[in-house]
Amino acid sequence: MSRGNLLISAILWFVVALFVIYPLSFLIIESFKIAGTDRYGLQNYIDFFKDPYYLKTFANTLLLGVLVLATTTMVGLPLAYILARYRLKGKVIFTALILLPIVLPAYAGAFALIVFFGKMGTVNLLLMDWGLISKPINFVFGLHGLVFIQSLHLLPFIVLSLSAGFTNIDPSLEEAAEVEGAGGFKRFLTVTLPLTSPNYLAGAVIVFLWPFTDWLTPLIFGQIDFLPSISYINIAYHFTDMHRKYMGIVSVVVSSVICVGIFLASKTWVERKKYTALSKGTTLEGRIIEPGLLTKASSYAYMFFIAILVLLIPVVLGLSAFSRRWVLQPFPSYWTLDNFRLILLETPALLKNSFLFSGVALIFGVAFGLPAAYLITRTKVPGKDTLDFVITLMLAFPGIAVGVSYLLAFWEGIPLATHWIIMPLSLFVRRLPYFLRMAHASYLQLDVSLEEASEVSGASKMKTFFNISLPLLLKGVFVGLVMFFIMAFQEISTAIFLYRGGWETLPIGIYLNWHRGMEFGIAGAMAFLMVVIIFILLLIVARIGGGILGAAWGSSGGRY
Amino acid sequence: MVAVNHINLEIEKGEMLTLLGPSGCGKTTTLRCIAGLEKPDGGDILIDGRPMFSKGFVPPSQREIGMVFQNYAVWPHLRVFDNVAYGLKLQKLPKSVIREKVTEALESVGLTGLGRRYPGQLSGGQQQRVALARALVRNPKVLLLDEPLSNLDAKLREKMRFEIKSLVRRMHMTAVYVTHDQAEAMVISDRIAVMETGNIVQVGVPEEIYKKPANRFVADFIGTTNFIPGEIMEVPKDRDMVHVKTEFGQKMLCKVFDSATVAADQKVHVSIRPEDIEVFTKPPEGRHNLFKGIIQYRAYLGNFLYFFVNVDSTMIRVQVAYDVRQKEGEEIFLFLDPEKCIGLS
């Protein structure tokens, strides 16, 4: 054990202790505080679980999770099978399109949906113009709208994890079933599907837990009776009513416990059931089928349908971005660049802040992630598995938990919250595992003997890292960088608690514009701008990462 | 690219036939065509007189075959018992019958009592046995084995060869076995079909393949042999012996299996196996095919000696069963028995 490794370990632990464990402990301690006194007790939790309103909210959140999971599974299963197994032209483009929602913020999609499907939205207006209906149909406001938009946003997780499962199955396992007499659907049910279950579960957990972390989308649809939304409202608006504030904090803790609990349970189950490790000599490509004419046609139709739904979001955002006063008309009639003038010239701070905060967060991420990946994959420092575990847990923590605990922890004592550095810091902590995972995966693919050869040739560990490891890791690391940046760029659930005047980012700008009841146009233009920026970043990743892209997402959904 | 080209092969009932060849020769493709996992471009495949492929196509699930895959393909999510019972359940047999048959099959491959285990809890050899039991339990019309032993270690591989052979014999099963290991093929097969680049070059019982190889490829692939390049000088009538002028300038006699197909001036390779060469320290009188050489390298392999002998720059491998004192660099005389020298084109 070298001293250097111990030093790295100590520094990383210090960072984790200060920026993860310390603030989260505040959250937990605060949740036991009894309103109006200095005492601590279980009273808040008892109140929470006795209050029919919070119980109903809790049940609503669970129900939303179940519905979203059911929808994404039903829609995603055939899609994943098509993408993984059929030889079809243009599959790459469809895959890219269908995966797009993963990087589009859910709230941006929600805006688009309201503009298009809302009570006075395009579809209703057209239907009324044509005389098909007399009163507008409520397409989106309510549970069904939430299920729709969250399903659309989360579909890629299910599709990615399932198609990774379908691809990874050793073809001979299915051939053996065929030889044994199981044709077609029977084979799918008895062999293919069960073998995919670990992959499916990894994606399903992310989908199921989403409603426990997304507070903004329900609010946009006029729904507050969900745990994260009510937490947000209680904490952000009720600093005077201490009881409601504590109820909010308890909601956050309850959500966090559920998220971490389910996450850990599924992780153990997946680890126990790792099927792929069993068979030797598998083929790389998996099983690809030449589809029949009918299968081909319906596959294309299905992919087109999903792609159109997905594309609806940027198209509608674009329409509203380049127009004004798009009200009570199916399509905008007054075209202008005014929205962009407002954003770029009058409030350029939003864009500047977004880039600055995400950029600084990225530097933190690299400075932490690379040594951490090295430590976890290449050394035997005691406690490195615990470190890996703690960092990985951050994947499950709701963003709102990070935001609230930072607010609680960094006012007095360590008054970081008075400086803008708190913004990138919280972004960095929130996405802690992303970069680490990517660097970790690249490290695992890098043969140790390449590094050993360098050391044998006389290079120090440090020299080896910079001369050999880093250049070889670069591709994976770069993809990790951009993905991290994208995630930080669209982050709102943490930032909303911490921003002060002058620190607004683009997502916060979107939220404020919607919240203050201003025109959708500006919010739409901001969202459109964000989608464009993210899309450009994504193209860069795809260009460099190629196959890694899917693999990386697959593993962020697939492995943990 | 043609993986398999015009194959014509008939397998007898109860026979174990091996498709033998180097990797990429099309043996696995042939097997997969029999299984129905791949479709040939043309031709006929019949199993037990029933057409599987000609104009129509019978899917693998309807062919009543059993197959053992190279990587076992034991389903990791099912217990050993359920793996073996899979096909029987699809036939909708009564539970008691299934239980009986599976128990019997597991017993026959030596896995009694392991039915409740998951494949992940078994060793590679045991998984192999599960695959075998699964393939045999339905009493298939043909048993197909695709390099089933290639993932096992050397000791276990040797043991399993005999076990598979005796098991298949005992059940009077018709079987097609694919391997690239010629020693395995010799042990396990009733007949061997040697394949080269998509074609079957020779079919025969192991001894015939070894002693009467059809061409240079077969002679080289099965066992070890020496090739002495040369040119036919004359073909005596009514004899299957020919005179060959070797490249190193000496004459030698060798056998050809069909004297009608060879003619003077034709280039040939004379093949003789290392164990068929006799060595002498002093040249015996009145023998053909006697060559003088220098021992280049001498290796002791326990049950025999191995010499690399340089005869006018042609290296000849010789296997000697008894102790010969001659050292490296010394002279030795080789007698290449004309009866065992085979001229191959």
pLDDT band at B2 (very low <50, low <70, confident <90, very high): low
What's the DSSP call for residue A70? Answer: H
Give the strand order in the sheet containing B331-336: B277-280, B331-336, B290-300, B305-311, B314-320
Cβ–Cβ of B71/A176 closer than 8 Å? no
Helix, strand or coil, per DSSP, at residue A372: helix
CB A28 within 8 A of CB A21: no
Render pLDDT for B94-122 as a digit per residue (tens, 0 to 9): 999 999 999 999 999 999 999 999 888 89
Kindly list the residues of chain A whose beta carbon comes within 8 Å of any beta carbon in chain B: 170, 172-173, 175-183, 186-187, 190-191, 194-195, 197, 273, 275, 278-282
The pLDDT value given to residue A157: 86
**Phi-psi category of residue B249: left, alpha or beta, with phi > 0 → left and psi -120 to 50 → alpha:** left
User: What are the chain A neighbours of B176 within 8 Å (beta carbons)?
Assistant: none
Give the tokens for residue A161: 């994890």
Burial of A246 (0-12, 13-18, 19+ CB in 10 A): buried
Give the tokens for residue B28: 């696995």
Q: In this complex, which of B70, B90, B120 lies closest to A180 when CB atoms are compared?
A: B90
The pLDDT value given to residue A274: 65
The pLDDT value given to residue B24: 85
Cβ–Cβ of A186/B65 closer than 8 Å? no
Sequence-distant (≥ 6) Cβ neighbours of residue A24 within 8 angstroms: A397, A401, A405
Q: In this complex, which of A172, A181, A197 lies closest to B73 when CB atoms are compared?
A: A172
pLDDT band at A52 (very low <50, low <70, confident <90, very high): very high
Render pLDDT for A125-176 as a digit per residue (tens, 0 to 9): 888 888 888 888 888 888 888 999 899 989 988 998 888 888 878 888 888 9
Closest CA in chain B for residue A194: B77
As for the ipTM of the complex, it is 0.75
Q: In this complex, which of A179, A187, A275 lies closest to B65 when CB atoms are compared?
A: A179
Task: Say if B157 is an interface residue toward chain A (CB within 8 Å).
Answer: no
User: What are the chain B neighbours of A178 within 8 Å (beta carbons)?
Assistant: 36-37, 59-61
The pLDDT value given to residue B185: 93
| C-alpha span between B53 and B69 (Å, rounded) | 22
Closest CA in chain A for residue B85: A180
pLDDT band at B284 (very low <50, low <70, confident <90, very high): confident
Q: In this complex, which of A182, A273, A282 lies closest to B61 when CB atoms are compared?
A: A182
Q: What pTM was computed for the model? A: 0.79
Least Cα separation, residue A476 to chain B (angstroms): 31
Find the helix or strand (DSSP H, E) in which B344 lies. strand B342-344
Helix, strand or coil, per DSSP, at residue A104: coil
Render pLDDT for B204-239 as a digit per residue (tens, 0 to 9): 999 999 988 988 999 999 988 999 988 888 777 767
Q: In this complex, which of A180, A191, A278 lies closest to B87 when CB atoms are compared?
A: A180
> Region B144-152: what's the mean pLDDT?
89
**A550, pLDDT greater than 60:** no
Nearest of A117, A485, B133 to residue B125 by alpha carbon: B133
Count residue pairs from A and B with Cβ separation < 8 A: 82
| C-alpha span between A158 and A79 (Å, rounded) | 10
Sequence-distant (≥ 6) Cβ neighbours of residue B86 within 8 angstroms: A177, A180, A182, A190, B75, B78, B134
Cβ–Cβ of B67/A175 closer than 8 Å? yes
Burial of B286 (0-12, 13-18, 19+ CB in 10 A): exposed
| C-alpha span between A63 and A143 (Å, rounded) | 10
Least Cα separation, residue B16 to chain A (angstroms): 19
CB A86 within 8 A of CB A295: yes
Helix, strand, coil share (%) of chain B residues, nearest 5: 30, 30, 40
The pLDDT value given to residue A536: 83
Sequence-distant (≥ 6) Cβ neighbours of residue A83 within 8 angstroms: A91, A94, A95, A98, A159, A163
The pLDDT value given to residue A517: 65
Cβ–Cβ of B62/A278 closer than 8 Å? no
User: What are the chain B neighbours of A283 within 8 Å (beta carbons)?
Assistant: none
Cβ–Cβ of A182/B60 closer than 8 Å? no
Give the sign of the dihedral formed by CA B91, CA B96, CA B99, CA B101.
Answer: negative
- Give the number of other CB atoms < 10 A from CB of residue A36: 8
Cβ–Cβ of A281/B151 closer than 8 Å? yes
**B166, pLDDT greater than 50:** yes
The pLDDT value given to residue B290: 87
Higher pLDDT, B275 or A237: B275
Q: In this complex, which of B37, B59, B75 lies closest to A173 when CB atoms are compared?
A: B75
Task: Say if B176 is an interface residue toward chain A (CB within 8 Å).
Answer: no
Task: Say if B86 is an interface residue toward chain A (CB within 8 Å).
Answer: yes
Cβ–Cβ of B63/A179 closer than 8 Å? yes
Give the strand order in the sheet containing B175-179: B65-68, B142-146, B175-179, B16-20, B191-196, B199-204
**Phi-psi category of residue B4: left, alpha or beta, with phi > 0 → left and psi -120 to 50 → alpha:** beta
| C-alpha span between A54 and A45 (Å, rounded) | 11
CB A461 within 8 A of CB A185: no
Render pLDDT for A408-450 as a digit per residue (tens, 0 to 9): 888 877 888 788 888 999 989 888 887 777 777 777 777 777 7
**B199, pLDDT greater than 80:** yes
Higher pLDDT, A538 or B315: B315
User: What are the chain B neighbours of A180 within 8 Å (beta carbons)?
Assistant: 61, 86-87, 90, 134, 138
> Region B305-322: what's the mean pLDDT?
88
Cβ–Cβ of A172/B69 closer than 8 Å? yes
> Region B169-183: what's the mean pLDDT?
92
